[in-house]
Amino acid sequence: MKRLLTLCAAFLLLGLGLSAQVRSYADNASKAFVIGLDTYFFGAEGSLDFTAGGQSFTASLSNGSVSLASQELENGGGDVLVGIHDFTNNRNPEFVVARRNGETICANVYALSGGKWKAIGRIGATGGKEIRVFRQAFTIRSGEALYTWTWHGSAFDFKASDGSSDPTPAL
């Protein structure tokens, strides 16, 4: 039943011409490299419409440049995916920009604060095929190691199954 509802929502969005894609954990046909975001857009050019803090926003993606509400957030190369997920559990989604360049993947998380989008966390950069999102956590499997970043109050905490240190550069 859940899969049927997900497919119906996806067909509805496609029929309306919207760029957001709804996905379930079972659906990996799009080749997107982040699994578990509430909605996302993956591609070279496009946009994602969503609501946060009672306001409507449009995120724009153009040749690696990501803008949100007339605010340029970042510019870079590789495959880019933008999406939303409520990591902070405050019922307002955070905005995620994930990048894949070769075998390296990473993500930046932005939260709406005082009318502006501010970076609240950075995940990666490390080797791996995909990023999984579940509740307040990101996970990346790199070889035999599993890396996990979990939101705790004001920051993402890092743990690695092999005891290695956090590969994430500082914000």
Write out pLDDT tens, residues 7-59: 444 443 333 333 344 443 334 445 678 888 888 888 888 999 999 989 999 99
Q: Is 29 strand, coil or helix?
A: coil
Element (H, E) at 8: helix 2-16
Do the Cβ atoms of 110 and 130 come closer than 8 Å?
A: no
Burial call 19-39: b when 16+ CB within 10 Å, e when fewer = bbbbbeeeeeeeebbbbbbeb
Residue 85's pLDDT band (cuts 50, 70, 90): very high
CA distance 52 to 117: 11
DSSP secondary structure string, 104-139?
Answer: EEEEEEEEEETTEEEEEEEEEEEE-S-EEEETTEEE
Q: How confident is the model at residue 98 (pLDDT cuts 50, 70, 90)?
A: very high
Q: pTM above 0.85? A: no
